[in-house]
Amino acid sequence: MPDTYTPQSGGRSIGARRLGALLSDVTMARPVYRHLAAAIRALILDGRIALHVKLPAERELAPTLRMSRATVTAAYDLLRESGYALSRRGSGTWTAVPDGGETAGVSRLLPAPDAFINLTAAALALPEEVLSDALAKVAPRLTERAQTAGYNPFGLIELRAAVAHRYTRRGLPTRPEQIIITSGAQQALMLTIGLLCGPGDRVMVENPSYPNALEAVRRARLRMAPVPVTESGWDLEIMESTLRQVVPRLAYLIPDFQNPVGCLMPLAQRARIVRATRKSGTWLVIDETLADIALDVPVPAPFASHAAPGEGDHVITIGSLSKTLWGGMRIGWLRAAPRLINELAGLRVTVDMAGSVLDQLLAVALMESTGDWLDTRIAQVRAQRDALAGALGRHAPQWDWRLPAGGLSLWVDLGRPVASALADRALGHGVRIESGARFGADPGTFEHRLRIPYTLPADTLDEAVRRLAASLDEGMPLESSVERPHWVV
């Protein structure tokens, strides 16, 4: 790295006391400096310390950790040698990851051969009989609509009313004029970013997070301020500190069975985040596409319901039918104040005029009949989750993971940073899967993780895990690599 390196974080730093709290007791192992370096490296790879964050000076960290300054200096030297830290005289030491390759993974986007097991999509298929019944209901309605031009940038009023009723039923009174129908949740996010943000604005994102959302932020030339999420949940102190110090224009969060980690945000934290973002003047975008996939707990109330009366206008909620019903039917929505909905509709016209009338009518029919079969679907997903857990116990007992209370995937720790190399090798065993690096806000992080969806039949999941374990065990040892972002679902 040339001497002209300049951090691109807007001056973020982590204090000695905060870093000390994140580190386990490294003084028990020898040599201490190597274990200290390894512990800091693990925090970087796990996204708990973002890239381009200034580490505390050696003289500040040493007394906090109750070790000599020479020990901390040696650890920092080791981090620099291995590519996990960069220094500039007079500026301090900053977190980094080693350089990686930059080839595109286009082949992963193509349809997989029949013999392949595709674990890249955390999405469900739609039962044939459910689709057939809905299509039969839709046919006469579509014939009526065919007599019109078919354009409505807000979405069909009956679908907007159905979505509004869904929020009201879950405890958040909502009117149809607070809803705009979009072509999936991704378009809802893109419209929000396009309307509210400009190049260079800062956006607070979870780390790890949904890759397509992170890519939307990157392509809009926005600056990310990552905050860590682990199986234990969110660190509210870091989030509130980020809101105070960075003052992001927008924050994007997945509080319900977070993708990919799977954790569920406690109610008290939701109210704190609403207050903190209101205080910082930050638009709060809440992705609730997985909220209905509640397997062991009740479906959580809408995030915006935790705002005090008159204090939730900055909360924007994104939803979709892609996870609960079918991703092939491109139906998403956005809930916000009516004034913002009107502005989003004006922007939407410049993108695709309006959504598919057929898809929207089909969505109405499916939402009318959801209660008849959604419980059965949830039971099926729960059984598939347990089947995947059993398969991991049989074929890869050395891997570590926690069973989420909802959502569609497990966030699996391989114990070493080889996920991208394993994903490449697994192709030779007929399995497509995404490494954890795809979900990191910073390149090169989460290389020790795999996201494994449990959206396939139990016997298929067992075979997939068996092949993954065989891929890891075969022949030459795997090497770590930095993966590039691309579209996953």
CATH number at residue 258: 3.40.640.10
Interval 451-470 mean pLDDT? 96
> 325 vs 396, which has greater pLDDT?
396
Q: Which of 110-119, 148-157, 166-175, 319-328 has the weakest average pLDDT?
A: 110-119
Interval 369-391 mean pLDDT? 89
- CA 355 – CA 33 distance, rounded (Å): 58
Residue-wise pLDDT tens digits, 404-435 = 999 999 999 999 999 988 988 888 788 999 89
Q: What is the domain-level CATH number for residue 56?
A: 1.10.10.10
Co-location of 392 and 408 in the same domain: yes
- Domain end position, chosen among 342, 369, 396: 369
Co-location of 163 and 237 in the same domain: yes
Q: Two tokens at 11?
A: 């001056």
Closest CA to 302 of 282, 320, 288, 283: 288
* pLDDT of 477 above 70: no
| 475 Cα distance to chain centroid | 33
Band the pLDDT of 264: cuts 50, 70, 90. Answer: very high
> pTM of the predicted model, to two decimals?
0.79
pLDDT of residue 11: 54
Instruction: Work out the angle between the directed axes of helices 157-169 and 357-395 (0-180°, nearest 10).
Output: 40
Does some domain include residue 145?
Answer: no
132 burial type by CB count under 10 A (0-12 exposed, 13-18 middle, 19+ buried): exposed
Co-location of 159 and 238 in the same domain: yes
Report the greatest alpha carbon distance in the chain. 80
pLDDT of residue 106: 35
Interval 268-275 mean pLDDT? 96
pLDDT of residue 449: 95
- Domain end position, chosen among 335, 369, 403: 369
Q: Which residues pair with 320 in a beta bridge?
A: 332
| Inter-CA distances, 130 with 349, 358, 367, Å | 32, 16, 11
- Residue 100, C-beta contacts closer than 8 angstroms, at least 6 positions apart: 443, 444, 481, 482, 483
* pLDDT of 224 above 50: yes
Co-location of 76 and 22 in the same domain: yes
- CA 321 – CA 290 distance, rounded (Å): 9
- CA 449 – CA 215 distance, rounded (Å): 19
Closest CA to 255 of 231, 234, 276, 235: 234
* pLDDT of 213 above 90: yes
The answer to whether the beta carbons of residues 75 and 33 sit under 8 Å apart is: yes
Q: Could you give the number of structural domains in the chain?
A: 3
* pLDDT of 2 above 50: no
> 188 vs 150, which has greater pLDDT?
188
Is the bond preceding 443 in cis, omega lying within 30 degrees of 0?
Answer: no
Interval 331-345 mean pLDDT? 96
Does some domain include residue 8?
Answer: no
Q: Which of 21-25, 57-61, 288-292 has the weakest average pLDDT?
A: 21-25
The string over 42-54, giving b where at least 16 C-beta atoms fall within 10 Å of a residue's C-beta and e elsewhere, is: bbbbbbbbbbbbb
Does some domain include residue 206?
Answer: yes
The answer to whether the beta carbons of residues 223 and 203 sit under 8 Å apart is: yes
* pLDDT of 45 above 70: yes
Interval 218-247 mean pLDDT? 95
* pLDDT of 483 above 60: no
Instruction: Work out the angle between the directed axes of helices 338-352 and 184-196 (0-180°, nearest 10).
Output: 110
Phi first, then psi: give them for residue 70, nearest 5 degrees.
-60, -35
- CA 482 – CA 469 distance, rounded (Å): 21
Q: Two tokens at 417?
A: 């940073």
* pLDDT of 240 above 90: yes
Q: What is the domain-level CATH number for residue 377?
A: 3.90.1150.10
pLDDT of residue 107: 42
Does some domain include residue 279?
Answer: yes
What does the mean pLDDT of the chain come to?
A: 87
Question: Measured at the alpha carbon of residue 419, what is the angle toward residues 415 and 423, in degrees to the nearest 5?
Answer: 140
What share of the chain in percent tops pLDDT 90? Answer: 56
- CA 442 – CA 364 distance, rounded (Å): 39
Co-location of 359 and 419 in the same domain: no
pLDDT of residue 7: 42
pLDDT of residue 355: 87
Q: Which of 188-202, 206-220, 465-479 has the weakest average pLDDT?
A: 465-479
Band the pLDDT of 396: cuts 50, 70, 90. Answer: very high
* pLDDT of 444 above 50: yes
Residue-wise pLDDT tens digits, 85-102 = 888 777 789 888 876 433
Phi first, then psi: give them for residue 276, nearest 5 degrees.
-65, -40
Interval 123-152 mean pLDDT? 87
H-state helical runs in 69-183: 69-81, 128-145, 157-169
- Residue 284, C-beta contacts closer than 8 angstroms, at least 6 positions apart: 250, 251, 253, 273, 274, 277, 314, 315, 316
Co-location of 191 and 329 in the same domain: yes
Closest CA to 443 of 384, 387, 483, 416: 483
Band the pLDDT of 403: cuts 50, 70, 90. Answer: very high
The answer to whether the beta carbons of residues 195 and 344 sit under 8 Å apart is: yes
- Domain end position, chosen among 369, 390, 411: 369
Does some domain include residue 484?
Answer: no
- CA 226 – CA 203 distance, rounded (Å): 8
| Inter-CA distances, 345 with 159, 313, 319, 349, 357, Å | 15, 17, 16, 6, 16
> 189 vs 9, which has greater pLDDT?
189
Co-location of 90 and 182 in the same domain: no
pLDDT of residue 147: 84
Co-location of 64 and 122 in the same domain: no
What share of the chain in percent tops pLDDT 70? Answer: 89
Interval 448-467 mean pLDDT? 96
Does some domain include residue 288?
Answer: yes
Q: Which residues pair with 54 in a beta bridge?
A: 13, 94
Determine how many CB atoms are found less than 10 A away from the CB of residue 23. 17
* pLDDT of 478 above 90: no
Co-location of 352 and 389 in the same domain: no
Q: Which of 36-45, 338-347, 374-383 has the weakest average pLDDT?
A: 36-45
Does some domain include residue 121?
Answer: yes
Range of the domain at 466: 106-127+372-473
Co-location of 294 and 430 in the same domain: no
Co-location of 86 and 118 in the same domain: no
Q: Residue 4 is which amino acid?
A: T
Residues in the chain, how many? 489
Q: Two tokens at 198?
A: 């400009």
The one-character DSSP state at 458 is H
* pLDDT of 292 above 50: yes
Co-location of 187 and 307 in the same domain: yes
- CA 221 – CA 207 distance, rounded (Å): 18
Q: Residue 445 is which amino acid?
A: T
Does some domain include residue 481?
Answer: no
Band the pLDDT of 43: cuts 50, 70, 90. Answer: confident
